[in-house]
Amino acid sequence: MKIRKKVVVKNPEGLHARPASELVKALLGVSSEVYIVYKGMKANAKSILNILSLGVDPGAEVEVIVSGEDAEKVIEIVEGILDGEAKK
């Protein structure tokens, strides 16, 4: 299953060190491939360095692309972190 969804980053820190770290930790056990696209750049959401290289600020719109068996669960996790509330 493949899901593409536009999400506004509501986390007051944007997608910088702390939320990026939370995202990587939350994705450790998932089998899906997860990417974040911002300003034409695509980053592997399982890599903190890739996420930080995007420089996503609060209020920015990103596209989340999830491919795999657990895509629906994974998209919820990613949305929760981007909203500023970790969903497990």
Q: Would you name the residues annotated as active-site residues?
A: 16
Residues 66, 2: Cα–Cα separation, whole Å: 6
Does residue 13 contact residue 57 with C-beta atoms inside 8 Å? no
Strand spans (E) along 1-88: 2-8, 33-38, 41-44, 61-67
Does residue 41 contact residue 55 with C-beta atoms inside 8 Å? no
